[in-house]
Structure formats: structure tokens, C-alpha cells
Structure 1
Amino acid sequence: MTSFGTLEYVLDKFSGTWSWKVTGERAVAMVSRIIPQAWYGDGEFEAIVPDDPKNVLQIKWIMDRYPLEILSKTTWQKKLPMPTKPEPKKPKRIEKLQLANPGKQFKGNLLNFQREGLDFLIKSSGNALIADEMGLGKTVETLSYIGTEQGTYPALIVAPLVTLNNWQREIEKFLKLKSRNGRLIDDKPPTSTIIRVGKSEDLGKYDFYIINYELLFKRYKDLAKLNLRTIVCDEVQNLRSKTTQKYHAIKKLSALESIKYRIGLSGTPIYNRGSEIWPIVDILRPGLLGSFKEFCEYFCYINEKGKAIVLENKRESLRNMLQKHVMLRRKKTDVLQELKEKIRHKEIIDADINYYNKELEKIWKKLEDDRKAAQTAFDASTAYQRAIQSERQVAGVAKLPHVINFVKNIMEIEESVVVFCHHKAIHSLLHQSLAEFKPASIIGGQSDKERQNSIDTFQNGETKLMIAGLRAGNVGINLTRAKYVIFAELDWSPAIHLQAEDRLHRIGQKSTVFAYYLMGNGTLDEHVARVLVDKSYEIDAIMDNKVESFENKEKAELILAQIHDKIRSITS
């Protein structure tokens, strides 16, 4: 474990009393902030703290967050007050993972790398970020841990709205009910409830409480009464902003005395900038990365937009720190030898530039009028964001005929295809133009039943085409029937694309997955693509030890040539 300085019991020459000498820049900064009786020592980063029980507790609090090398171990042990309850096990640096066996309450089968994931959770005392790539079974690893570790109930599962039913199904599939006397009942699952309303009311007694992020703040008081032992945050990137109500609710819940286990799950915990990892880690392992200010001072620079970007020469050290203490990260290529590769290709397609420029002129004329009428900086900013959204939609419409042709070309050779788009208007136009293929649909606003019916229709082969919203269909679903994924529109976040790709590229996929990013020539797409590449470079360097290329032209173009050749043979 990283040491931030030293702690020594010394006879202070200034006061003539036995005191504690703390060294180390960050530790001394904390001492000066929370122990007013302390004074600076002779060295640059050295503080002297009077020896009294209250100060000893304050030093211990600092050491829990910034470990110090104890030079006077015997004296320190004597001075520490006897704990009134057993100390929780501290997460240790984990050098090597073993193949852990799940407890008897778990009734599934784990692959070997999932057993190592279980071992990581055990060795980190259930306070960890499981950042395996999408499709590697983070849910089942987490449930195996809850069914193995002692005292994990009741557990709170916080997840995106569209995944709540899936969590309940997985609990029923993988866990047995444990009665009050500890007896396992094989044919019954643990009790669970999905919280769907924001109105405060008694929640009753269950083993699992399942709630979406948007309701957390409204139901905080009810949840705080449940004596929760475990919090699981699925798609934990939802907590990447420390200013949101859902973040504050989770922060308060995770600090409750009853909480012993805090688990975050996400294959893409960083969406846009490396600094987004700080709020997540500060919930799972408070203090590991210091305060946000300290984190930024050490790891980041502030760009021209005021955003904290992790310095290129600090990305490796940040990744190492995360992996030593809190984060498990495996890629599919590391653990699934049988899984075929994933190939990306950026395809430049024609766009109706006359339409695009004409609409663009209208958008920016309206923006100019809105900015003149704006009474506050917020109004002006809102007008600009509205204009950008309008331009993105116009770019989607301008290239739509060529997107449709691209999709039809692949459909002609009887392949299953998933098409992702961003705007509901584009989703509707795609549906109309490709109606001959009877496409399944995933879009925001669907009920859970409608959404699952669409997924089942596609996965069962009743249709070969799925049209999905980028932010509605990028989590909580399995689309392994297809091996082609087409992005008709682009998102600003590379993580959104990764999540969408991995609806196909996951356990159960038997074919190479080809991801085609269709970019309108001469439109906003070209700028968005450059932004995506820059963001991906920072994210990949922090999460993984390499930067993945955005595309693999040779193999993807070979597939395109095969598609066009087959189409010619069909039509000739």
C-alpha cells in the first residue's frame, strides 16, 4: 500500500513534551486542517501534534485515508483506544487472485475468471469497483459475493430504470432463500422488491431493495431506516458528477454505520474525462484519492473549458493506484479466448449538403436571435446547446438515405443487424424506411414489457433488424443474434458507443462483431469523431494499459467488399 509519510513518537524540543511527529506533504496538510493544536516542525513537510487521546483519534482518521509508515509501532498500539466493535477489514493490495468457490446460497456456475472476480471482492472486503468490460458477468459475480460473504443482507441495488427487472430475475435465478435460522431453501429465491414510486412510505422487510438512480434522493429517508448492509451501484458512471442529487443520496447512504459493503459496477466508469473517476472512488473507498481538490492538483490540468483532464504522464500512475486498491479491470480478450474479435470501421458516406447548409443557416440565425434576447448567461448557453442538438439532428437527416442504403445492403445478404441512432425523429424515419424488414425497436418511453418483447423478437430470429436508441439500448440488453452494428448517429461520449457495441460483443457471441460508424461527409459528424478520439485516448490510458485504435480498416473494408460482391451476384 502507498505510504504518504511517517508517524513517530518524539520528545519535542520546543514544548519539552512527548508528541507525535507527522511527515509527508498530504498528511501534514490534513493535520493542519483538522488538528488546530498542531504546529509545524523543523522540516518542510513536518508537523508536531500534542499527545492526547483526541489527537490520536484524529491522526488515526487521517491514516485511514493517507496511510503512514509507523516508526513507533509499540507506542502507537498502546495509545490507540480499544475498539468498541470489531474493526472492518481494510482493503489490501491484491497481488494475485485465486479461484474462489462461491457459498452454498449461490446456485449458479462461475467461469474461472468470474471466480477470480469473486476472490477480488472477498479480498477487498466488498468495497470495490468491478470495471470488467461489458458482457463478462459483473452481475453474477456480485450476486455470488452477496451469497458468499457473511452479513450482506439487506442489500440495496441501485441501477438504471431499464435494468431493474433484469436484476430481480438474476436474483431469482442465482440465489437461494436463506431463512432466519440460516437454513437454505433450494426452491425459493431471496425476497426482493422494486421501488417504483417517489412518494415516501414504509418499504417493508426484504432481502433486496431495487431502485433506479432517479428515485434515490426522494426515497433517501425511507432507505436510511432499513439497516442496509450492502450497496451495489450498477452502471456506477451515473455517479460521475458529485453535484447531483443522486450522488449526494448515495454518498449519505454509503456513510451509514450499518453499511459494510459498497460495490460499483461498470465497464465504462469514465464517460468523458478521467477526473470522473474521483466521485465514484470516493464512495467506494473514501479518501483513497484525497479530496477532489487534492486529486486535481496532483493528477490533472484544467482545460480551456474549465474541465479537469488527467495529465498524460499521470494516467499510468492513476491506473496503477486504482488497480492496487479498488478496481478490477479485465478485457474480453484477456479472459474469453473463444470470443471472436470486434472490429470498428469509420465509413464516410454522402450527405445532402444543400439541405444541410440550408437548415444550418436557419439554426444559426435562430441562435443569433435567441442570444440577443437572452437575459442571462444561462439563457445564452441553453440557446447554444439547443442549436448544437438541432445541428446533430439535421446531420442525421442529411445522410439518412445513404444510411438506409447501407443497412439494406447488409440485410440483402440475410445478416442480422442492429442500428443505433440518437434522435427519436431519426429512429422514426429509419423505422418507416426499413418497414419491409419488420424491425424490432428499442426507444425511450417503452414499458419494460414492450422493451423485453422487442429483444426477444430479435434474439429468437423473428426479425433480422433491430433499431435502437443510443441511450435507451446501450445497457441491460443482450443482442448477440447480430454480428453487425451500425451507428447511424454519433454520441459525444465514447463510452456510449462501447456500451452499445457490447450488447453484441459479449458471452454467447460466436462471430466477429463488425461496428460501422457512418459519418456524413461535410457535416458535424467529422468534428464529433475528432472529439471522440481525443476522449478515448484519455479514457483508454487510465482504464487499460494501451490505447485502442478507433478502426481496423483492412478487415472491415474486406467485409464491405464481400457484402458488395454478394449484392452484385444477387442482383445480376
Structure 2
Amino acid sequence: MSADLQWFIQRYPMDVSSADMERLQLGTSQFEADRIRTEEILMPDWQAPSKHGFRPGYDAYHFQKQAAELWLRKKGLLLGDDVGLGKTISALYGLAGSRYLPAAVVVQAHLPTQWVNEYIVPFTYMTAHIVDGTKPYSLPAANLYVFKYSNIHGWSDIAGTGFFKAVVYDEIQELRNGLDTSKGKAADVFSNNAELRLGASATPVFNYGSEIWNIYQFIDKDVLGPWEEFVREWCKSGPGGKWLVADPDALGSYLRESQVFLRRLRQGRTINTIPIEVDFDQKIADDAEKLARVLAQKVMTGSFVEAGVAARELDAFARLQTGLAKAKSVAVLAKMYLKQGIPILLAGWHRRVYEIWQEELKEFNPMLYTGSESAKQKDRVKKAFINGESDCILISLRSGAGLDGLQKRCSTVIIGEADWAPAVVTQLVGRVDRPGQEADEITVIYPYVNYGSDPTMMAVNAVKKDQARGINDPGLEMPAVYSDESRFKMLAKQFLKEEA
């Protein structure tokens, strides 16, 4: 603020008392010195200070050490490194051997054991405890306490004492709804009483760009100011009363210049994206049409409350009916790969759609990894898939963020149902497009129908993708989509030959 004010006064001279000018110049000098020190961290020739806390034979990469040091310098940082670049290791390197222990690590429900068994224990000397449930109990001594987003609301009082010196939010997009949720209210207490705050996500913006304001409330409340100021300076009105960021590239640049957002991209494998129109069950479509008309009429003519309820019901109904109508066609696509012994992830959302897929694909022993399975059940599914006990995981669109290990067997993803958030698909593809993947190409199949919710969702997601692109990667154009159907056609030809 001092630097901004001094810039303003140079262009619009004002009378300033000597005491105020001295304070202004001091603040500006401190800002410039801090910027120089921080920029030095990101230079290729920067040397990381020696640290203790990692086990012999394990170390962080140079770019991960840079992220850790920038976090320690700024105290609050959004680490948006691309999927597979080791944001977990960056967080652990910042905490290991530091004065910011004990620390809280907040993760999605399926990830606590992965954090502990695959990263904390093998890489570091830090001890860890997975916090169980929402009812507080006497915590055993540990350096790291691993929470789930689903249970932090029960531990606000402990966090309010300042017991946790640092807090790491893995997949921080979980907090995109801010204080409107119990986990958001709890996270606010954790952040307010911690000296260090780190948010990690390759996809911090899931929907419209204004979500970034909520994200920064848990990292650095000052950087984007109060909500009213943020909306006035950065936003424009969007559909359904939502706020869109008017210039996502400008906001993305501002966050980088403020040194509170660090993101590095990697040269991943080729993503072969194949959209394919499939048939749908006309009977399901005809049966759904009458009820859809009634709901649509309420949306247009009902009271404010009635219209809102009807709109939500219509959205949920349309998505379900669309998924059901194309479920068998999607299963046929899956069979084309499974019959050739090619492991796949088949992503969906609705339980009734999973049931159709389970029946159609039962000869291939499909396994469920959805919101209904416990963390232990999900761990078993992951191990079974990696060990070759099944070639097919029916995975919920929103259950795979942060999941590591599937790339050891799989390079093919079928998006069997669409999602309103394009970042969900980015996260899902990131489960196989990451270090350890030996295939030269990742194949992503998008079966769609010109019916129901698919056309609308595809159009809306184009806007959301641009919002996320500008904030995440300002100045970069939307990458061209690579689509090569030759392998897919060969597979289809082989499938038809065997079915004849």
C-alpha cells in the first residue's frame, strides 16, 4: 500500500508531512527489499538453505524447495503447481525441521493414509497422527495432525488455542464456498490462529473466477481486500447471480506480482481427447420429458422460492436422466477397451448409472471408488486395481482429486457423465497423467448425447475454463485440443470383429 501511495503521489503531487512521508518511504523500501529477496528465491541459480528433517536418500527437487522457501517467506501462499509436480513434498519440505510444528494438514476423505504412508513416513522424520472423527479427544504427541475436510469442524476449539503453528490445505478448492459451509467456518479458525498457511491445488478455481476470493480468505485475507472491494475492482455479473472475473488474466498476473500465487507447469504426455456422440435410450428420454416440462414451467412462472427449488430439481433430474439414457452406450465403449485387456477409469456421478455399468460390465469385475465407500474401502480398491485384480474402476467424478498410484496401470479415462466444473475432469485425468506413467499418450473419451443436460453443460464449461485459465496461467492461450481417433477406430474394428 505504501508503494501504491507513493506511486500515486509522484503523479498527483500532494502536501505530505515529513513524518508521514518518512513512514511512506520506509514502507516502500521494505516492500521493494522483500520483493527482491522473494524474486531471488525463484531464480534458477538460487541455492536452498541446508535443512534437516528429510531421511537419507530422500530429498525435494529444486523447484519444490523454492516453493517451500517462498511459503516460509510470505507466510501465506497458494501453490498451484500442475498435477504431478509434488505439491505434497513442497509442503513437507517447508515444515520438516521448522519451528512451525505441530502443524495441521487438511485433506480430502480418501487421502489421509496416502499422505502418511506414501509421503510423511518414507520421506521425513516427522511423526503423524490421523485425526479420527469430529469429537475432540486427547491427541497423541506428533509433528503433523492429518484432518479430513469432513471432520475439522469438530476441532475448531483446539485450533483456536493456537496449538497448530501451521496449516496446509491440500486440494484447497474444497473451501471454494467460503464461510457458507461448516468446513469453511472451521478452516477460518485454523487459519486465523496459525502462523503459516498453505493452500495447494492445481485447480483452485472450479467454477467461476470469483471463487478465488473465498480461497484467499484462508491464505491471506488482505491480498484481495473485502468482498465488496473485490467485486467492484475485479468482477462483472454473470448467470444466475454469479460473479465472473472480468479480466481473469489481469487478476492472475496481480496474484503473481503479489507473490502469493506460485504455479509451475510441466510438459506432460500427449492428452488424446476424443469426444464421441453416442446413442441414448429414447424410452428414458420420452418418460422424462413430461416431468421436465412441469419443472421448467415452475422455473419460468413460480415464485422466487418455487423457481429456485424447481431449477435445482430440474438440473439434478436432467443430469440423472441424461446419464441413464446413455449409460448402456457408455458401457459398450468401456467394453471395447476392457476386452482388449486395457485398464480404464470410468467416471460418473449417479448411483443408478453405476448400477447399470456394474451389470453391463460384470464380467470384468468393476470396482467402485465413489462417495459411498469408506477410506479403507477406497484404499483396498486402489491396491486391487494396481495389483491387477480388476481392470475397471467406476470412479466418482469428484472422488479422485489427489489420488496417486493409478498411473502405474492405467492411461485411459472415460468421462461417462459430465460435470458442471471442468476442473473436476482436469483433476481426474491428473490421476493417470503424472510421474510413474509409462504410456506415451493419455486417452480421454468424452461420450456425449445431443439431449438432456449435455449440450448446456458443454457450453457453460467453456466459459468456466476460460475463467480458470486466466487466473491460473495469465497470458497463455487455451491450448489446442489434440484428438486422434485412429487407435480408437482400430479398437472399435477389433471389437466388432469379435462380437460378430
With the length of structure 1 as denominator, give the TM-score of the two structures.
0.77
Shift of 1:328: 1.4
Alignment of 1:58-457 (within 5 A): 72-73=25-26, 92-93=38-39, 96-97=43-44, 98=46, 100=48, 103-107=51-55, 108-122=58-72, 124-148=73-97, 150-169=98-117, 170-176=119-125, 190-225=126-161, 227-244=163-180, 245-256=182-193, 259-311=194-246, 314-324=247-257, 325-333=259-267, 339-365=268-294, 377-457=304-384
- Tell me, yes or no, if the aligned pair for 2:358 and 2:366 is still in contact at 8 Å: yes
SS in 2 for 1:114: helix
SS in 1 for 2:90: helix
Change in Cα spacing, 1:23 to 1:216, as seen in structure 2 (3 Å) is farther
- Tell me, yes or no, if the aligned pair for 2:271 and 2:482 is still in contact at 8 Å: no
Paired with 2:10 and 2:388, the residues of 1 have a C-alpha distance of: 63
Change in Cα spacing, 1:95 to 1:133, as seen in structure 2 (3 Å) is closer
- Tell me, yes or no, if the aligned pair for 2:328 and 2:356 is still in contact at 8 Å: no
- Tell me, yes or no, if the aligned pair for 2:42 and 2:66 is still in contact at 8 Å: no
Q: 1:552 aligns with which of 482, 485, 491?
A: 482
Change in Cα spacing, 1:327 to 1:73, as seen in structure 2 (3 Å) is closer
Render the CA deviation track for 1:183-236: whole Å, top value 9, x for unaligned. Answer: xxxxxxx33322222224443543212212233233201222352211111111
Aligned residue identity for 1:269: P
Higher share of residues assigned helix: 2
Aligned residue identity for 1:488: G
Aligned residue identity for 1:559: R
SS in 2 for 1:513: strand
Shift of 1:138: 0.8
Which has more radius of gyration? 1
Paired with 2:113 and 2:424, the residues of 1 have a C-alpha distance of: 22
Shift of 1:46: 6.8
Aligned residue identity for 1:539: A
- Tell me, yes or no, if the aligned pair for 1:201 and 1:222 is still in contact at 8 Å: no
> 5+ unaligned residues in a row in structure 2: which ranges?
none
- Tell me, yes or no, if the aligned pair for 1:240 and 1:279 is still in contact at 8 Å: yes
Percent of pairs with identical residues = 23
- Tell me, yes or no, if the aligned pair for 1:442 and 1:468 is still in contact at 8 Å: yes
Paired with 1:371 and 1:455, the residues of 2 have a C-alpha distance of: 46
Q: Give the corresponding residue for 2:437.
A: 509
Render the CA deviation track for 1:347-403: whole Å, top value 9, x for unaligned. Answer: 11111234313212124336657999x8x7445422321222111111111112211
Paired with 1:350 and 1:128, the residues of 2 have a C-alpha distance of: 47
- Tell me, yes or no, if the aligned pair for 2:38 and 2:70 is still in contact at 8 Å: no
SS in 2 for 1:396: helix
Render the CA deviation track for 1:76-103: whole Å, top value 9, x for unaligned. Answer: 99xxxxxxxxxx9998456525363662
Render the CA deviation track for 1:411-431: whole Å, top value 9, x for unaligned. Answer: 222211110001111112101
- Tell me, yes or no, if the aligned pair for 1:422 and 1:469 is still in contact at 8 Å: yes
Paired with 1:490 and 1:279, the residues of 2 have a C-alpha distance of: 25
Aligned residue identity for 2:152: L
With the length of structure 2 as denominator, give the TM-score of the two structures.
0.88
Aligned residue identity for 2:482: N
Shift of 1:323: 1.9
Moved more, 154-163 or 279-288: 279-288
- Are residue 520 (structure 1) and residue 468 (structure 2) matched? no
Aligned residue identity for 1:364: R
Change in Cα spacing, 1:444 to 1:463, as seen in structure 2 (3 Å) is same
Change in Cα spacing, 1:429 to 1:567, as seen in structure 2 (3 Å) is closer
- Are residue 537 (structure 1) and residue 466 (structure 2) matched? yes
Aligned residue identity for 2:109: L
Aligned residue identity for 1:524: S
Change in Cα spacing, 1:293 to 1:418, as seen in structure 2 (3 Å) is same
- Tell me, yes or no, if the aligned pair for 1:160 and 1:212 is still in contact at 8 Å: yes
Moved more, 236-245 or 157-166: 236-245
Render the CA deviation track for 1:273-301: whole Å, top value 9, x for unaligned. Answer: 11111222233223112222222212111
Aligned residue identity for 1:315: P
Shift of 1:2: 9.1
Q: Give the corresponding residue for 1:81.
A: none
Paired with 1:274 and 1:428, the residues of 2 have a C-alpha distance of: 35
Shift of 1:70: 5.6
CA RMSD in angstroms, aligned pairs only? 3.2
- Tell me, yes or no, if the aligned pair for 1:391 and 1:524 is still in contact at 8 Å: yes
Change in Cα spacing, 1:458 to 1:69, as seen in structure 2 (3 Å) is farther
Paired with 1:409 and 1:368, the residues of 2 have a C-alpha distance of: 41
Paired with 2:48 and 2:285, the residues of 1 have a C-alpha distance of: 58
Shift of 1:340: 2.2
Paired with 1:50 and 1:69, the residues of 2 have a C-alpha distance of: 6
Aligned residue identity for 1:247: G
Aligned residue identity for 1:410: Y
Larger RCO (alpha carbons 8 Å, 6+ apart): 2
Shift of 1:451: 0.8
SS in 2 for 1:345: strand
Paired with 2:25 and 2:471, the residues of 1 have a C-alpha distance of: 37
- Are residue 476 (structure 1) and residue 403 (structure 2) matched? yes
> 5+ unaligned residues in a row in structure 1: which ranges?
8-21, 26-42, 57-67, 78-87, 177-189, 334-338
